[in-house]
Amino acid sequence: MDAPILIDGQTHFDADHARVVTNPAHHKEVVGRRAVGTGGYAHAAVEAATSAYERWSALSAAERAQMMLAAAVAIEAGNGDRARLLTREHGKPLSEAAHDVGGAPKILRYYAGLADRFDTPDVTEDDLGRIVRLLRPMGPTAVIAPWNAPVYLSYLMIAPALLAGNTVVIKPPSYTPLAVTDTLLELDRHLPSGVINVVPGSGPEVGAALVRHPSVRNIRFTGSTETGKQLMRDAADSVKNIGLELGGNDPAVILEGSTINDQLISEFVRGVYAGTGQICYNIKRIYVHRSMYEDFVDQFTEAVDQIVIGDGLSSDVTMGPLNNEAQFKFVDALVDRTRSSGATVATLGRRHDPTTWDDGWFIQPSVVTGLAQGAELVECEQFGPVIPIIPFNEESEAIALANQSEFGLAASVWDDDVDHAFDIARQIEAGTVFINVHRVGASDVSMEFGGFKQSGLGRGHGWVAVEENSELQVLAHRPGWVEATGHH
């Protein structure tokens, strides 16, 4: 599988300069190649998007939605093979990959279903006159996608932009470009040329060129906080609209009223270790009431020890490798430093195939106890399969600990008394606070999502994502006001 550049309906692929994409479960296995885009390609893609914008934005949202629905059908037909491809380039188990690639048709259909709402202006009439509020397309949109859930997260940014009448240039992730690019090529077949353009390449070259281009009016980014800050700086000169879904250090708070049972433990295992911990809103730190701390740690540790680590294509593997060497080195060193600090680090799980363990970026899941709030593992976004568990005495203490972070993406509160859990959740500084759940899938496409503090700007998912990709225009005819104020 090759991931080419796509500009104005035409693909470009220079095999002599392409970069290989390898399998994180088998370093030497080449899964495919990706084209190497440049600033020049980025500029050409923006020009194509700008040319296509007039025609695309002039269509009704209902007309755009029909094309999106046709694309959803075609993409869905090929998703079986794409799931296997994604597992090979990313490492995640096949079931997780199927959920990821399934996001493309699901999200396209959801936003297509909002077309009538977009096309229907809000009209207010009174004695003073008439006010019409309508949404207008914003313009060529740059989308910069992450490697951890490349298909699902790309379409969460692309689909509302398209419905709103914007054209798109996307920079797919360098580590996992293959499956998402394959869906984008299929999407392009159902849209006018130039509406969707794809330029793989490095962030400093391609990403920066897109963000700085004067014709780009809208930027959508999912990724690290540091990169998001740089994008804000790059976008400042031309005052572009920007939406950022950034890092998280997501706490889970288990209150005294919780029942520690198999269901709760299973939810926590999935909430921490899905995607090998490489998910922005995975549980990153656990706070447990002291009265049940030991019981939770014992049951959770026992359950984590049942995780099977290996090649995600194997049916009995429940956790794949880390995606890339840089992430492996970061997490591995973090665990070593945590162990050296005097904390108790339980290394758990079973290696599916010990003979090929060193062929991939495999790391066993860890459970860490004996850490204080200020410890590195508690303060950072580890983005890997290692979790600190910390006891608390009072609910006020748990709230303070949960909020003691520069991040505020997601959190969860656990209690058998759901109303009480809601009361506590309102005091947590996070864009989304789940009640008695916290894992992939809990944040549905219809449910608004975004972060407080340094976890981002704006909101995605749901209708609000369409608004965030639109300009609100107000048309006002106020003859009654003119007469009342004496100005003729």
Q: Which amino acid is at 46?
A: V
Among the ranges given (71-75, 163-167, 234-238, 484-488), the one the predictor scored with the smallest mean pLDDT: 484-488
> Which pLDDT band holds residue 267 (cuts at 50, 70, 90)?
very high
% the chain with pLDDT above 70:
100
> Using an 8 Å Cβ cutoff, are 171 and 37 in contact?
yes
Q: What mean pLDDT do residues 173-190 have? A: 99
Q: What is the pLDDT of residues 278-300, one digit of tens each?
A: 999 999 999 999 999 999 999 99
> Using an 8 Å Cβ cutoff, are 2 and 198 in contact?
no
State the chain's mean pLDDT as an integer: 98
Q: Is 432 exposed, middle or buried (0-12, 13-18, 19+ CB in 10 A)?
A: buried
% the chain with pLDDT above 90:
98
User: Looking at the DSSP assignment, which residues form a beta bridge with residue 317?
Assistant: none
Q: Please name the helix (run of DSSP H) or strand (run of DSSP E) that holds residue 178, with its range, or none.
A: helix 178-188
Q: Is 13 exposed, middle or buried (0-12, 13-18, 19+ CB in 10 A)?
A: middle
Reply yes or no on whether 96 is catalytic. no
**Alpha helices by DSSP H, 164-288:** 178-188, 208-212, 225-236, 262-273
Q: 231-261 burial by CB neighbour count: b if 16+ within 10 A, else e?
A: bbebbeeeebbbbbbbbbbbbbbbbbebebe
Q: Is the pLDDT of residue 6 over 90?
A: yes
Cα distances (Å, whole numbers) of residue 123 to 128, 131, 132, 328, 336: 13, 6, 5, 55, 61
φ and ψ at 30, to 5 degrees?
-85, 120
Q: What mean pLDDT do residues 197-222 have? A: 97
Q: Please name the helix (run of DSSP H) or strand (run of DSSP E) that holds residue 72, with its range, or none.
A: helix 61-77
Give the integer Cα–Cα distance in Å for 212 and 365.
41
Give the integer Cα–Cα distance in Å for 371 and 180.
39
Reply yes or no on whether 280 is catalytic. yes
- CB atoms inside a 10 Å sphere around CB 160: 30
Location of each CATH 3.40.309.10 domain in the chain: 251-435
Give the integer Cα–Cα distance in Å for 63 and 180.
24
Q: What is the pLDDT of residues 296-329, one digit of tens each?
A: 999 999 999 999 999 999 999 999 999 999 999 9
The pLDDT assigned to 201 comes to 96
Token digits of residue 447: 């449910």
The pLDDT assigned to 487 comes to 57
At the second CATH level, the architecture of 2-246+455-474 is: 3-Layer(aba) Sandwich (3.40)
- CB atoms inside a 10 Å sphere around CB 123: 11
> Using an 8 Å Cβ cutoff, are 276 and 315 in contact?
no
Q: Hey, CA dihedral for 412, 416, 418, 420, is it positive or negative?
A: negative
Options 47, 76, 96, 245, the catalytic residue: 245
CB neighbours of 397 closer than 8 A, spacing ≥ 6?
A: none
Q: Hey, CA dihedral for 405, 408, 410, 415, is it positive or negative?
A: positive
> Which pLDDT band holds residue 486 (cuts at 50, 70, 90)?
confident
Token digits of residue 325: 């060497």
DSSP 204: I
Q: Is the pLDDT of residue 120 over 60?
A: yes
Options 76, 205, 280, 468, the catalytic residue: 280
Give the integer Cα–Cα distance in Å for 186 and 417.
47
Q: Is the pLDDT of residue 488 over 70?
A: no
Give the integer Cα–Cα distance in Å for 442 and 40.
40
Q: Is the pLDDT of residue 367 over 80?
A: yes
Q: What mean pLDDT do residues 401-424 have? A: 99
Location of each CATH 3.40.605.10 domain in the chain: 2-246+455-474
CB neighbours of 98 closer than 8 A, spacing ≥ 6?
A: 79, 83
> Which pLDDT band holds residue 272 (cuts at 50, 70, 90)?
very high
Which residue's structure tokens are 């995600």? 312
Q: Is the pLDDT of residue 157 over 90?
A: yes
Q: Is the pLDDT of residue 57 over 80?
A: yes
Q: What CATH topology corresponds to 251-435? A: Aldehyde Dehydrogenase; Chain A, domain 2 (3.40.309)
